[in-house]
Amino acid sequence: MEASEKARIKKAKVKLARYCAYRERTHQEVKNKALEVGLRVYEADELLAELISENFLSEERFAKVYVRDKFYLNKWGRNKIRQGLQQKGISPYCIGLGFEEIIEEDYIEMLHNICIKKVEVVKEVDLFLKKRKVATYLIGRGFESDIVWEVVNSICD
């Protein structure tokens, strides 16, 4: 390998390390960035392996941060968070590790608080239709339907 090739790869590695250090990234995001900066596929794969071994890149860490952010900041339920992680190509094992970041009491409390706010906003006189609208909203936010119906029924009755 020529000196200019080594320099090009080293420069790309520094750029990718900064890219990873800025915030948590998925393996696919880093690979796409590597290809953007002009690396060949096999070079990108080698650099990806190096970044993982040097702990710049971690799928587990990404999953944990993603779950915390989407739950505590965006107030999403588990189903929507799981779907987002799957779309990003995160393994089921790492998704499971990520869900350990959600405290069950916080989950139920969050669902309860969102439900109360939504019940106040829905302008439906018919109690059955009001419950259905609130439940549909909460299920759309990614909360599990069985838990949603328990909470909706406890609040609206």
pLDDT tens, 1-48? 688 888 889 999 999 999 999 999 999 999 999 999 999 999 999 999
Q: What is the pLDDT of residue 49?
A: 95
- If you ran DSSP here, which 8-state letter would residue 69 be given? I
**Whole-number average pLDDT of the chain:** 94
**Residue 130 pLDDT class (50, 70, 90 cuts):** very high
Q: What is the pTM of this model?
A: 0.90
Task: Tokens for 42, please give them.
Answer: 């096999």
Query: Is domain 3-57 annotated with CATH 3.40.50?
Result: no
Q: What span, in angstroms and rounded, lies between the C-alpha atoms of 65 and 69?
A: 6
Q: Is the pLDDT of residue 156 over 90?
A: no
Domain borders along the chain are 3-57, 60-99, 104-156
Per residue in 63-75, pLDDT (tens digit) is 999 999 999 999 9
Render 83-135 in DSSP notation, one character per residue. Answer: HHHHHTT--HHHHHHHHTTS-HHHHHHHHHHHHHHHHHH---SSHHHHHHHHH
